[in-house]
Amino acid sequence: MKRLIMMAAAVLMCATSWAQQALWGAAPVVSPEIHSDNTVTFRLKAPKAVSVQVTGDFLPARPIETPRGIWEAPGIADLKEGKDGVWEFTTSEPLKPELYSYSFIVDGLKMMDPSNVYLIRDVATVTNVFIIGGDRADLYEVNDVPHGTVRRMWYNSPTLKMDRRLTVYTPAGYETSGKRYPVFYLLHGAGGDEEAWINLGRTSQILDNLIAQGKAEPMIVVMTNGNAWQQAAPGESSKGFTVPSMSPAEAKNAPEGGFELAFPDVVKFVEKTFRVKKGRENRAIAGLSMGSFHSANISRYYPDMFGYVGLFSGASSKNDKSTCPVYTNYEERLKVQFSKKPLLYYIACGKTDFVYKSVTDYRKLLDDNGYKYEYYESDGGHIWRNWRIYLTEFAPKLFK
């Protein structure tokens, strides 16, 4: 008996030691530290480092040339080494309420902040994040309100001949209410996937808070994977841990206009699986960048499907060389779409966005034809900060 007790004690001690293992790597410093005046201090213990910098969207943006135009890159600031090899940087001014991302650069090597466990992936880049609360940023936080449910689900797309993954948000009370709900289809940009809006866009937090405040109608939000060649986000399909990329080689094998042509597969699955209200007056579609292009094309090609359309940082344009039915008869299809009087056609863009001119040209086309739309212009460029703003502006306008 005594031997059994000793063995049990040994097993317990072993289990306890494993349970405590994660605590051994506790961060040696506090970072980021948000002060009462909303200045923020970043720290990194790196006694052997020669240079430590922080880069993030809380710093003034750096314009960089790309093949697609001028992009806004996160700014960079130097940390100063202090006692015990702890490097430190404090913002010179308070930060405005917002969700911010950042990372460190140590002797030229980018790394995450080991003191901050909060991370987000954007395509192939991982960054730390923190929130300065207040104003609109309160919508990005998890507040003490009723919460919806987020599901990752698989559906079959006969058009694309594969099973595909999507993310679905159902509002608080969906499981027990017995009610039917309108549906908002929310599309990501180039390089993104079905995880982008829920993680980077804070969709569930924004919808939870807007609905709880009575500013938005309870709705289902469907976030698809807009890459027609892809089953799911990196690491979530049978392809395993593939490297995320903006321009994967598989893209050239995807049918032209494949995502748009296959979109009814998504709608059919959602309307079969969830308690939804049907009809164009109960369906909305919106997207950012590439997702804006998709939203414009889908809503134009299927003019009876969506009563609400949102184009964030992007627009649709003619493609006279294409033979794909989605892109042909451009102006004729646009005329048909607006003859059906969309309940809301919403366009939003940043003043310094590299797509600003194309959005302006598209607005002129709409104006010249007398097609009614709403326009929202913000500061900044092609960034998630803007797309979260557009979501908070667009969602309250739906299904009224």
Q: Which of 233-237, 283-287, 328-332 has the lowest mean pLDDT?
A: 233-237
Mean pLDDT computed over 62-89 = 85
Task: Report how many helices (DSSP H) and strands (DSSP E) the chain contains, helices first.
Answer: 10, 20
In which band, very low, low, confident or very high, does the pLDDT at 253 lie, cut at 50, 70 and 90? confident
Q: What is the pLDDT of residues 151-175, one digit of tens each?
A: 999 999 999 999 999 999 999 999 9
Question: Taking 70 as the threshold, does the pLDDT of residue 351 lie above it?
Answer: yes
Phi, psi of 268 (to 5 degrees): -65, -45
Question: Taking 80 as the threshold, does the pLDDT of residue 392 lie above it?
Answer: yes
Mean pLDDT computed over 66-70 = 64
Residue in 93, 15, 80 with CA at minimum distance from that of residue 52:
80
Query: What does the DSSP 8-state code read for residue 38?
Result: S
Mean pLDDT computed over 182-207 = 97
Helix (H) or strand (E) holding 336, with range, is helix 330-339
In which band, very low, low, confident or very high, does the pLDDT at 242 lie, cut at 50, 70 and 90? confident
Radius of gyration in angstroms for the set of CA atoms belonging to the chain, rounded to a whole number: 24
**pLDDT recorded at residue 230:** 92
Q: How far apart are CA 8 and CA 95, in angstroms?
A: 54
Question: Taking 90 as the threshold, does the pLDDT of residue 364 lie above it?
Answer: yes
Q: Which residues pair with 45 in a beta bridge?
A: 86
**Average pLDDT of the chain to the nearest whole number:** 91
**pLDDT recorded at residue 319:** 82
pLDDT cut 70: percent of the chain above it: 92
26-133 homologous superfamily: Immunoglobulins (2.60.40.10)
Q: How far apart are CA 76 and CA 57, in angstroms?
A: 9
Q: How far apart are CA 235 and CA 112, in angstroms?
A: 20
**pLDDT recorded at residue 67:** 64
Q: What is the pLDDT of residues 201-229, one digit of tens each?
A: 999 999 999 999 999 999 999 999 999 99
Q: Which tokens go with 80?
A: 């100063």
pTM, two decimals, is 0.91
Mean pLDDT computed over 123-139 = 95
For 18, counting Cβ atoms within 10 Å of its Cβ (0-12 exposed, 13-18 middle, 19+ buried), the class is exposed
Residue in 369, 366, 373 with CA at minimum distance from that of residue 342:
373
**pLDDT recorded at residue 124:** 85
**pLDDT recorded at residue 72:** 76
Mean pLDDT computed over 193-205 = 97
Higher pLDDT, 250 or 301: 301
**pLDDT recorded at residue 259:** 96
Question: Taking 90 as the threshold, does the pLDDT of residue 249 lie above it?
Answer: no
DSSP per-residue letters across 144-183: SS---EEEEEEEEETTTTEEEEEEEEE-TTHHHH---B-E
Mean pLDDT computed over 38-46 = 98
Q: How far apart are CA 251 and CA 247, in angstroms?
A: 7
**pLDDT recorded at residue 322:** 87
Q: What is the pLDDT of residues 307-338, one digit of tens each?
A: 999 999 998 878 878 889 999 999 999 999 99
Q: How far apart are CA 355 and CA 290, in angstroms?
A: 11
**pLDDT recorded at residue 318:** 80
Contact status, residue 245 vs residue 124, Cβ threshold 8 Å: yes
In which band, very low, low, confident or very high, does the pLDDT at 63 lie, cut at 50, 70 and 90? confident
- The domain ranges of the chain are 26-133, 140-397
Mean pLDDT computed over 73-91 = 96
| Torsion angle, alpha carbons of 376, 377, 379, 381, to 10 | 100
Q: How far apart are CA 266 and CA 281, in angstroms?
A: 18
Question: Taking 70 as the threshold, does the pLDDT of residue 236 lie above it?
Answer: yes
Question: Taking 80 as the threshold, does the pLDDT of residue 132 lie above it?
Answer: yes
In which band, very low, low, confident or very high, does the pLDDT at 11 lie, cut at 50, 70 and 90? very low
The CATH class of the 140-397 domain is alpha beta
Question: Taking 60 as the threshold, does the pLDDT of residue 55 lie above it?
Answer: yes
**pLDDT recorded at residue 164:** 98
Across the chain, the runs of DSSP E, i.e. the strands, are 33-34, 40-45, 52-56, 62-66, 69-73, 75-78, 80-81, 86-90, 98-106, 109-111, 119-122, 125-132, 149-157, 162-170, 183-187, 220-223, 283-288, 308-312, 344-350, 374-378
